[in-house]
Amino acid sequence: MFRTISNPWISLASRLILAAVFIYASIDKIAHPDLFAEVVHNYRILPIATENLFAMALPWIELGTGVLLLLGLLTRSAALLSAFMLIVFIAAIGAGLWRGIDITCGCFTVSSEGRQLGWLTLLEDVALLLPSFQLLLTAHPGISLDRRYLPASPLSAEPR
């Protein structure tokens, strides 16, 4: 089983899927920080004093994570960051669903016409944890800048 998880082609697919999701998710939030701040406020989870800071920082963190994954640079760190963000998103969506609030999720667009918060949104984020975990567990980053520029880690040693 672990050999399948460590397949370099699966690692490449995992990286590209996550990169596409995080880069795409960041674009509208970066373009409209004021609208994204409203989305963050509507979740009613963060203290009001931190909502704007979170709304300004998160899209850039998503973009940076996506670019690192796309390039295959610092792959494990980017995968860990993506898993952490997804767990935070899952918690926020779950809290919103549990409280029954009717808001747009703010996942890929900050428009009021965006997708409503729902169980499918939660399941999609749970599903995106799989490629994140695959990248954390794999011994082969696949085609990446990690292989070219970073020293091999003990985890990447080939079994004898």
One DSSP character per residue, 24-75 reads HHHHHHHH-HHHHHHHHHHH--S-HHHHHHHHHHHHHHHHHHHHHHHHTSSH
Q: Please check whether residue 159 lies inside any domain of the structure.
A: no
The pLDDT-based confidence of 111 (bands split at 50, 70, 90) is: confident
Q: Please check whether residue 160 lies inside any domain of the structure.
A: no
* CB proximity list for 109: less than 8 A, separation 6 or greater: 28, 115
**Res. 159: pLDDT tops 50:** no
Average pLDDT (129-150) is: 82
Q: Give per-residue pLDDT as tens, 14-24.
A: 999 999 999 99
Question: For the whole model, what pTM was predicted?
Answer: 0.86
- Quick one: pLDDT at residue 148? 73
- Quick one: pLDDT at residue 116? 87
- Quick one: pLDDT at residue 4? 59
Q: In total, how many domains does the chain have?
A: 1
Q: Please check whether residue 96 lies inside any domain of the structure.
A: yes
Q: Which domain holds residue 77?
A: 2-150
DSSP 108: S
Structure tokens at 21: 């999701």
Average pLDDT (57-80) is: 96
